[in-house]
């Protein structure tokens, strides 16, 4: 078949990019079109996202598509979860969206639970309790008298907000909504009782929309600005970046766990149904929406965020990521931290936070960049092994290997440490899993593939995989 082109917009918590992808019926080829920063904006003691900046970058990429004479069929947008934007009755953005790392939600869970039952909230949503979950962010804004909250006609998650700005159509995409701790996975919709508990109504959110739904063309204004016609459609893909990434796991069967490895580490299994039990509640596991009715049963782990926050504090070390990470091989440093300890959420100095944790737990604190790096990698691998053990106790299938997707899969030191800790194969790739899953959902929306297994066979045809087997020494 003739190659068909698509545009994937992949937004991360530090940067964003647009990717032009072509599909020939068997494999996908991708090329980065644009890349741009997505910094947190400090204003008035809070942290915000510059949503107009992201919108502008998408529009500039669409203009570049026209300038390069690339004929695209559709556009898909993925991003991180939990965060949202407010829009007024006139359709205008009511201020910048708050960033999930803003400390205004410190203590938000405890405040909300003074009036509500924690187990009841978990039974309704199956979502692990994290203070930046949308439920607690919104309750915090209500509690603080946020004027945007008080005047919001529409509340749209980040990818939905950008779709609204591009098309004029408001939706609530299922996978990103599932991160909010407001969606009931049994009913498949936002829970009206939870919304009522924070002073909101269901109609303030768009209609629930499944991945692979064609939303429509760009607005007439944007068609004129970009030079793209009405035949180019915006598609609701699996809008939560992890949902798109998991869709691109090249697994041949169900006997695996996955790890989306980047700023965050998200480790879990794919389940046909939500797993909401006494044990999952006790272990604070989460049930997030996947494609074709699947559930991503997983645990959020504070991932390479810790390493990235330490990097600016390192002195007299290589700036290139390869030589810098290789420093971990020059030391046998053995202290271990818990990456999910609250001390590492947003400290003013990450190195100091590691020092204080080691001192608090009776361990030797790192002294050199090499020791910090080895401590971080070994701690992540150790944490992954602990989560796999817990997953095995709840998983409906046997876990025989770990599929790692995302940029962290390129870190050979972390991957080998993980294989050694897990004592099972670690299969790495694709590194561009989120973008690949984004594109394949657009292909599926066009009717060119029919199922998740078919998508995964295309992934296997499109990427080279690297396998790490455990060392037994």
Please, how many CA atoms are within 13 Å of residue 245, restricted to the half-sphere of its CB? Answer: 35
Instruction: Give CA angle at 99 (93, 105), nearest 5°.
Output: 115
Fold: same for 4-241 and 251-428? yes
What are the average pLDDT values for consecutive 10-residue runs of the chain, which has 473 residues? Answer: 95 94 97 96 96 98 98 98 98 97 95 96 96 97 97 98 98 98 96 98 98 98 97 98 94 93 92 95 95 93 94 94 95 97 93 98 98 98 97 93 94 98 96 94 96 94 95 72
User: What is the per-residue pLDDT across 72-107, written as a single tens digit (0 to 9) for each?
Assistant: 999 999 999 999 999 999 999 999 999 999 999 999
Query: No. of H helices and E strands in the chain?
Result: 18, 21
Which residues contact residue 277 at a Cβ distance below 8 angstroms, ignoring those fewer than 6 apart? 394
**How many CA atoms lie less than 13 Å away from 257 in the CB half-sphere?**
32
Q: Which residues 6+ apart lie within 8 Å of 179 measured at CB? A: 81, 82, 127, 133, 134, 240, 288
Tokens of 151: 């005047």
Q: What's the first-to-final CA gap in the chain, in angstroms?
A: 50
Is there a contact between 27 and 462 (Cβ–Cβ < 8 Å)? yes
pTM reported for the whole predicted model: 0.89
Q: Where exactly are the structural domains of the chain?
A: 4-241, 251-428
pLDDT of 172 reads 98
Closest-CA residue to 396 (of 268, 278, 283, 300):
268
DSSP sequence for 28-80: EEEEEEEEEE---EEETTEEE--HHHHHHHHHHHHHHHHHTT--EEEEEEEB-
CATH number of 251-428: 3.30.420.40
Summarised one tens digit per residue, pLDDT across range 280-335 is 999 999 999 999 999 999 998 989 999 999 999 999 999 999 999 999 999 999 99
- Provide the angle, in degrees to the nearest 10, between the axes of the packed helices 412-422 and 369-394: 40
Instruction: Tokens for 223, please give them.
Output: 């068609």
* Architecture of domain 4-241 in this structure: 2-Layer Sandwich (3.30)
Give helix 51-67 / helix 158-167 axis angle, nearest 10°.
50
Residue identified by tokens 């455990």 is: 470
Q: How far apart are CA 270 and CA 176, in angstroms?
A: 16
* The dihedral formed by the CA atoms of 426, 427, 428 and 429, expressed in degrees to the nearest 10: -160
How much is the pLDDT for 473?
56
- What is the reported pLDDT for 397? 87
Asked, as a colleague might, if the bond just before 282 is cis with ω within 30 of 0, I would say: no
What integer pLDDT is reported at residue 160 of this predicted model? Answer: 98
Q: Count Cβ atoms below 10 Å from residue 338 Cβ, excluding itself.
A: 16
Yes or no: say if 458 and 444 are a contact pair by the CB < 8 Å rule.
no
Helices (H), 156-230: 158-167, 174-177, 192-197, 220-226
- Active-site residues, by number, are 241
| 174 and 208 Cβ atoms separated by less than 8 Å | yes
Tokens found for residue 399: 């876990």
Residue 346 has what pLDDT?
A: 85
Say whether 240 sits in a helix, a strand or coil: strand
């Amino acid at each position: 078949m003739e190659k068909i082109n698509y545009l994937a917009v992949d937004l991360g918590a530090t940067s964003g990019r647009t990717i032009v992808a072509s599909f020939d019926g068997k494999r996908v080829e991708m090329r980065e079109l644009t890349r741009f920063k997505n910094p947190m904006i400090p204003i008035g003691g809070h942290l915000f996202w510059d949503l107009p900046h992201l919108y502008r970058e998408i529009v500039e990429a669409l203009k570049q598509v026209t300038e390069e004479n690339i004929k695209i069929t559709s556009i898909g947008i993925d991003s991180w979860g939990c965060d949202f934007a407010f829009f007024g009755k006139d359709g205008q953005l009511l201020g910048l969206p708050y960033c999930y790392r803003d400390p205004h939600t410190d203590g938000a869970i405890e405040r909300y639970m003074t009036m509500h039952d924690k187990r009841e909230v978990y039974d309704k949503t199956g979502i692990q309790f994290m203070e930046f979950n949308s439920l607690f962010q919104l309750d915090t804004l209500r509690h603080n008298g946020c004027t945007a909250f008080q005047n919001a006609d529409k509340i749209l998650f980040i990818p939905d907000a950008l779709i609204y700005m591009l098309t004029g159509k408001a939706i609530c995409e299922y996978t990103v909504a599932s991160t909010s701790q407001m969606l009931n996975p049994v009913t498949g919709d936002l829970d009206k009782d939870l919304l009522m508990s924070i002073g909101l109504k269901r109609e303030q959110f768009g209609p629930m929309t499944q991945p692979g739904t064609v939303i429509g063309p760009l607005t007439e204004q944007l068609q004129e600005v970009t030079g793209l016609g009405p035949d180019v459609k915006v598609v609701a893909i699996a809008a939560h970046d992890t949902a798109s990434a998991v869709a691109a796991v090249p697994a041949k069967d169900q006997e695996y766990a996955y790890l989306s490895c980047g700023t965050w580490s998200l480790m879990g299994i794919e389940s046909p149904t939500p797993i909401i039990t006494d044990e999952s509640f006790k272990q604070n596991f989460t049930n997030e929406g996947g494609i074709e009715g699947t559930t991503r049963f997983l645990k959020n782990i504070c991932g390479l965020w810790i390493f990235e926050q330490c990097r600016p504090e390192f002195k007299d070390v290589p700036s290139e990521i390869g030589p810098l990470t290789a420093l971990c091989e020059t030391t046998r440093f053995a202290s271990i931290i818990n990456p999910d300890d609250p001390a590492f959420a947003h400290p003013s100095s990450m190195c100091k936070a590691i020092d204080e944790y080691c001192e608090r737990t009776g361990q030797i604190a790192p002294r050199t960049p090499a020791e910090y790096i080895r401590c971080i990698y070994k701690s992540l691998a150790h944490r992954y092994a602990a989560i796999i053990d817990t997953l095995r106790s709840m998983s409906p299938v046997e876990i025989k290997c770990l599929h790692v997707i995302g940029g962290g899969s390129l870190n050979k030191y972390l991957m080998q440490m993980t294989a050694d800790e897990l004592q099972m194969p670690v299969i790495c790739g694709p590194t561009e899993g989120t973008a690949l899953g984004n594109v394949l959902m657009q292909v599926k929306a066009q009717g060119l593939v029919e199922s998740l297994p078919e998508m995964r066979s295309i992934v296997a045809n499109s990427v080279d995989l690297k396998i790490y087997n455990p060392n037994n020494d």
